[in-house]
């Protein structure tokens, strides 16, 4: 499959990219930081299968242009994985309007931009897959995550509606809802205290890779992943 992953310069996105490359997929990766995209590990056998495209998903025109570049590069696009995300761990009263807007812009608006960029193409082909990486904050209350939880709840609602709108058009829409995963998004103190019980990015990547192997007549609608010992 030809796959596009946003927010792929580190964390879960990077792990998904490396896993899919190992499995023989062609993978386009985008993120704001081009230098970090260069750190994605790819062996010589798959070097032609990786396409790096700097992108800030906040801007629709740039996102739309990136979709066109990827389709031109690979000849087609089968899967979009919306993974780009940011957060601030602050109480709502301490979260500035600017911080709140940035989180909504990247986490929710960025998903909308990605979907709008690829959906007409997928509808025309009557084939495609949109995978949205969400968060367990949509199902459980975590303090100091008001803006983040709001953005991810919006993505979940968008995903659920989109799934029903395109179900009869040959397009699959899947929500991946991970619990605590050890990434740079967490403050150092939290990673030091809870890192051993968090999921690893490779755990999430393996699940994403596995759903792409499901039969054509099956839609994996939503998968929730949590650490074996539960939420933090």
Query: Is residue 18 included in any domain, yes or no?
Result: yes
Range of the domain at 196: 2-225
Query: Is residue 31 included in any domain, yes or no?
Result: yes
Query: Is residue 42 included in any domain, yes or no?
Result: yes
Task: Calculate the CA dihedral of residues 62, 101, 165, 16 and round it to 10 degrees.
Answer: 60
Question: What's the pLDDT band for 128 if we cut at 50, 70, 90?
Answer: very high
Instruction: Report the pLDDT value the prediction gives residue 232, as an integer from 0 to 100.
Output: 87
Instruction: Report the pLDDT value the prediction gives residue 45, as an integer from 0 to 100.
Output: 62
Instruction: Report the pLDDT value the prediction gives residue 209, as an integer from 0 to 100.
Output: 97
Question: What's the pLDDT band for 120 if we cut at 50, 70, 90?
Answer: very high
Give the C-alpha distances (Å, rounded to integers) separating 78 from 74, 126, 180, 225: 10, 11, 29, 24
Q: What are phi and psi of 38, to 5 degrees?
A: -70, -15
The CATH number of the domain where 36 resides is what? 3.40.50.720
Give the C-alpha distances (Å, rounded to integers) separating 105 from 57, 100, 111: 8, 9, 9
Answer for the pair 199, 227: CB distance below 8 angstroms, yes or no: yes
Residue 121 a catalytic site member: no
Answer for the pair 90, 99: CB distance below 8 angstroms, yes or no: yes
Chain centroid to CA 75: how far? Answer: 22
Query: Is residue 232 included in any domain, yes or no?
Result: no
Judged against a pLDDT cut of 70, whether residue 54 lies above it is answered with yes
Using one digit for the tens of pLDDT, what is the confidence trace for 148-172? 999 999 999 999 999 999 999 999 9
Answer for the pair 102, 151: CB distance below 8 angstroms, yes or no: no
Using one digit for the tens of pLDDT, what is the confidence trace for 24-51? 999 999 999 989 999 898 876 678 999 9
Query: Is residue 120 included in any domain, yes or no?
Result: yes
Query: Is residue 230 included in any domain, yes or no?
Result: no
Using one digit for the tens of pLDDT, what is the confidence trace for 68-84? 999 999 999 999 999 99
What is the spatial distance between Cα 92 and Cα 146, in angstroms, rounded to a whole number?
A: 6
Instruction: Report the pLDDT value the prediction gives residue 133, as an integer from 0 to 100.
Output: 98
Instruction: Report H helices in the chain.
Output: 11-22, 34-37, 60-74, 97-104, 110-125, 146-166, 188-194, 201-211
Q: Which residue(s) pair with 178 in the sheet?
A: 225
Instruction: Report H helices in 167-219.
Output: 188-194, 201-211
Number of folded domains that form the chain:
1
Judged against a pLDDT cut of 70, whether residue 194 lies above it is answered with yes
- Quote the crossing angle between the two packed helices 201-211 and 11-22, to the nearest 10°: 50
Residue of 51, 59, 121, 148 with catalytic role = 148
Instruction: Report the pLDDT value the prediction gives residue 44, as an integer from 0 to 100.
Output: 66
């Amino acid at each position: 499959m030809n796959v596009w992953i946003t927010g792929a310069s580190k964390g879960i996105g990077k792990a998904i990219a490396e896993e899919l490359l190992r499995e023989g997929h062609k993978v386009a990766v985008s993120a704001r930081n081009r230098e970090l995209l260069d750190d994605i590990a790819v062996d010589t056998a798959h070097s032609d299968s990786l396409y790096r495209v700097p992108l800030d998903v906040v801007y629709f025109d740039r996102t739309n242009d990136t979709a066109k570049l990827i389709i031109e590069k690979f000849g087609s696009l089968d899967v979009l994985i919306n993974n780009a995300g940011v957060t601030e761990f602050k109480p709502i009263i301490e979260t500035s309007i600017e911080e709140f807007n940035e989180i909504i812009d990247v986490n929710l608006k960025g998903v909308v931009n990605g979907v709008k960029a690829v959906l007409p193409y997928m509808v025309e082909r009557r084939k495609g897959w949109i995978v949205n990486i969400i968060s367990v904050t949509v199902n459980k209350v975590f303090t100091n995550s008001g803006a983040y939880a709001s953005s991810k709840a919006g993505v979940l609602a968008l995903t659920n509606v989109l799934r029903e709108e395109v179900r009869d058009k040959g397009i699959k829409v899947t929500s991946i809802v991970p619990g605590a995963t050890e990434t740079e998004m967490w403050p150092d103190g939290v990673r030091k205290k809870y890192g051993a019980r968090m999921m690893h990015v490779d755990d999430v990547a393996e699940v994403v890779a596995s759903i792409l192997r499901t039969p054509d007549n099956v839609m994996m609608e939503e998968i929730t992943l949590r650490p074996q010992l539960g939420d933090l």
